[in-house]
């Protein structure tokens, strides 16, 4: 009897759990990472909002299942890294389910199936993979299309050029910097339907089902909720509506605005708010990191001229290590590497905010150069002055403060101004970790309207004006201090 009841329960349990089409949320909010330009799955419309099948789908599922989400759009490669480093809880980005990925990700049920396909300019004579010999094919880093290209490279003899985002890849194809691109079929077909002068001469190759993913072994409830929500949306017809919204003829396009974005004026008019907010982040990054760098730089600079050998050694190691590591790697190490390392020892995800990571990287980088400026400034003051002062019985600290530093500071000032300009320009480098500062803002806008010439010109002018104004201001300050 008991056995029968148990058997009944075992059979009924899955049926019940299917019937209750809701899973339990564990976190108050889930961070979902996505691509930056991968229309029709995810792209920015001309109101600067991210839309597309994936965006609508995850929002509808979150609503259906009653959980909160925050979406970030750093690009596919960065989104993958974000999930692996625990910066994000899940990824939805037209992501293909591949065997290799199953080793590091848990996937939801699939909601689409995609091929990878070759795209070339309308005027291109490339008609088969054999025609790609010695040609350059562009692909987005970390994608299933990249795996396909790498696996077939020796067979067809093409060169591969990787990009961090779709917009720069398509830009490069349009300008002739590369001969072809490899991307998901719906994406290429969609861009052609949007008026891009491209064609797909060879039939696509299946790369697998498209699904939502979490880092392997984490957030199991998120996958459960996704699956239940997806089933509900399929049952009530909402899923089909989302697909139709983007895929049916006359569907939503990347530009819904009436403002003409082919002129500089139109670009500014439509995007000034975003550009200003990007500029705000750039300035905040530069100013905060430079202030921190001055403090750290002066400390290490003073160490480097200290009478104590140990302090000089510490300073030397700091400067050599930081100066020897490219800023981009430093930022990536802090943003992705360290959280990954901490997780591997503690077992807990400990993500770091992108702005904080960017600020730390910029501060350390500038501090190393400032330490050298301080050392150079102090050493430029003739040694005789220190010796004379010490022989009069004045302490090291007092001699430094009263005699050496006032002269050294004057020598250092122009270099500080210089270093600040470099720090401001360096903020563009930390956009690599997905931080939406001014440069990244521009790239996102270009991803939508392909106006790279005008948009980069606008960005260049923005930086030029800001840097000129700030250097003027700094020069005035310099004069006053003198
Ligand atoms: N389909 C691509 C992949 O899974 C995703 C993308 O490019 N957003 O690699």
3-class SS letters over 129-159: HHHHCCCEEEEECCCHHHHHHHHHHHHHCCE
> Is the beta carbon of 184 within 6 A of some atom in ligand 1?
yes
Q: For 93-128, write each residue's pLDDT tens digit.
A: 999 999 999 999 999 999 999 899 999 999 999 999
Q: Whose CA is nearest to atom 5 of ligand 1?
A: 95
> Is the beta carbon of 94 within 6 A of some atom in ligand 1?
yes
CB 60 within 8 A of CB 233: yes
> Is the beta carbon of 96 within 6 A of some atom in ligand 1?
yes
Q: How, if at all, do strands 90-91 and 30-33 pair?
A: parallel
Q: Please give the distance, rounded to the nearest whole angstrom, from the Cα atom of residue 93 to the centre of ligand 1.
A: 6
- The rounded distance, in Å, linking the Cα atoms of 453 and 276 is 19
Task: Specify the residue for token string 């990287």.
Answer: 361
User: Residue 35 in 3-state DSSP?
Assistant: coil
Average pLDDT of the chain? 89
> Is the beta carbon of 95 within 6 A of some atom in ligand 1?
yes
| CA of 146, closest atom in ligand 1 | 9
Taking each helix axis from N to C end, the angle separating 452-481 and 264-304, rounded to the nearest 10 degrees, works out to 40
Per-residue pLDDT at 304 = 96
Count the helices and strands in the chain (H runs, E runs). 19, 11
User: Residue 50 in 3-state DSSP?
Assistant: strand
Ligand 1 mutation target, pool 94, 100, 162, most atoms within 8 A of CB: 94
Q: Please give the distance, rounded to the nearest whole angstrom, from the Cα atom of residue 263 to the centre of ligand 1.
A: 32
- The rounded distance, in Å, linking the Cα atoms of 441 and 431 is 9
pTM over 0.75: no
| CA of 145, closest atom in ligand 1 | 9
Print pLDDT tens along the chain (482 aa).
Answer: 455 555 544 444 444 444 445 667 788 899 999 998 899 999 988 777 899 999 999 999 999 999 999 999 988 998 999 999 888 999 999 999 999 999 999 999 999 998 999 999 999 999 999 999 999 999 999 999 999 999 999 999 999 999 988 888 988 898 888 999 999 999 999 989 888 899 999 999 999 899 999 999 999 999 999 999 999 999 999 999 999 999 887 665 555 455 678 889 999 998 999 899 999 999 999 999 999 999 999 999 999 999 999 999 999 999 999 999 999 999 999 988 898 888 888 887 777 888 999 999 999 999 999 999 999 999 999 989 988 999 999 999 899 999 999 999 988 988 999 999 999 999 999 988 878 899 989 988 887 777 888 999 999 999 999 999 988 988 888 888 77
- The rounded distance, in Å, linking the Cα atoms of 170 and 451 is 12
Beta bridge partners of 51: 43
Ligand 1 mutation target, pool 33, 76, 113, most atoms within 8 A of CB: 76
Q: Please give the distance, rounded to the nearest whole angstrom, from the Cα atom of residue 210 to the centre of ligand 1.
A: 9
Q: Whose CA is nearest to atom 9 of ligand 1?
A: 143
Q: For 234-249, write each residue's pLDDT tens digit.
A: 999 999 999 999 988 7
């Amino acid at each position: 009897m008991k056995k029968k009841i148990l058997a009944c329960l075992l059979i009924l349990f899955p049926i019940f759990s299917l019937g209750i089409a809701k899973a339990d949320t564990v976190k108050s909010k889930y961070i979902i990472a996505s691509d930056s330009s991968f229309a029709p799955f995810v792209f920015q419309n001309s109101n600067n909002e991210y839309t597309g099948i994936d965006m609508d789908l995850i929002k509808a599922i979150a609503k259906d299942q009653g959980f909160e989400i925050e979406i970030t759009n750093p690009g596919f490669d960065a989104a993958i890294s974000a999930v692996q480093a625990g910066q994000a809880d899940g990824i939805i980005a037209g992501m293909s389910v591949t065997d290799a990925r199953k080793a590091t990700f848990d996937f939801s049920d699939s909601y689409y199936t995609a091929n990878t396909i070759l795209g070339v300019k309308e005027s291109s004579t490339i008609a088969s993979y054999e025609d790609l010999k010695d040609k350059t094919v562009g692909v987005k880093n970390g994608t299933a299309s990249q795996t396909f290209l790498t696996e077939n490279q020796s067979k067809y003899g093409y060169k591969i050029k990787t990009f961090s985002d779709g917009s720069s890849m398509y830009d490069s194809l349009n300008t002739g910097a590369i001969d072809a691109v490899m991307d998901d079929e719906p994406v290429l077909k969609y861009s052609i339907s949007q008026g891009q002068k491209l064609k797909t001469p060879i039939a696509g190759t299946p790369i697998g089902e498209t699904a939502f993913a979490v880092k392997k072994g984490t957030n199991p409830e998120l996958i459960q909720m996704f699956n239940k929500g997806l089933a509900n949306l399929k049952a009530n017809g909402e899923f089909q509506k989302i697909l139709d919204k983007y895929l049916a003829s006359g569907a939503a396009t990347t530009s819904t605005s009436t403002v003409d974005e082919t002129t500089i004026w139109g670009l500014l008019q439509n995007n000034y708010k975003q550009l200003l907010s990007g500029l705000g982040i750039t300035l905040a990054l530069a100013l905060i990191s430079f202030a921190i760098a001055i403090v750290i730089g002066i400390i290490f600079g003073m160490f480097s001229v200290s009478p104590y050998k140990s302090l000089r050694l510490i300073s030397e190691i700091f400067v050599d290590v930081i100066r020897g590591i490219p800023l981009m790697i430093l930022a990536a190490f802090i943003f992705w590497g360290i959280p990954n390392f901490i997780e591997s020892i503690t077992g807990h995800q400990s993500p770091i905010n992108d702005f904080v990571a960017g600020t730390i990287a910029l501060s350390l980088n500038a501090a190393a150069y400032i330490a050298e400026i301080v050392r150079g400034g102090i050493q430029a003051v003739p040694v005789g002055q220190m010796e004379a002062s010490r022989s009069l019985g004045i302490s090291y600290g007092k001699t430094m403060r009263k005699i050496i530093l006032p002269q050294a500071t004057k020598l250092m000032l122009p270099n500080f101004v210089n270093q600040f300009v470099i720090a401001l320009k360096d903020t563009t480098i930390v956009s690599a970790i997905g931080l939406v500062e001014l440069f990244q803002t521009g790239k996102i806008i270009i991803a939508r309207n392909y106006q790279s010439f005008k948009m980069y010109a606008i960005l260049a002018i923005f930086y030029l004006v800001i840097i000129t104004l700030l250097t003027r201001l700094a020069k005035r300050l310099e004069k006053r201090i003198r």
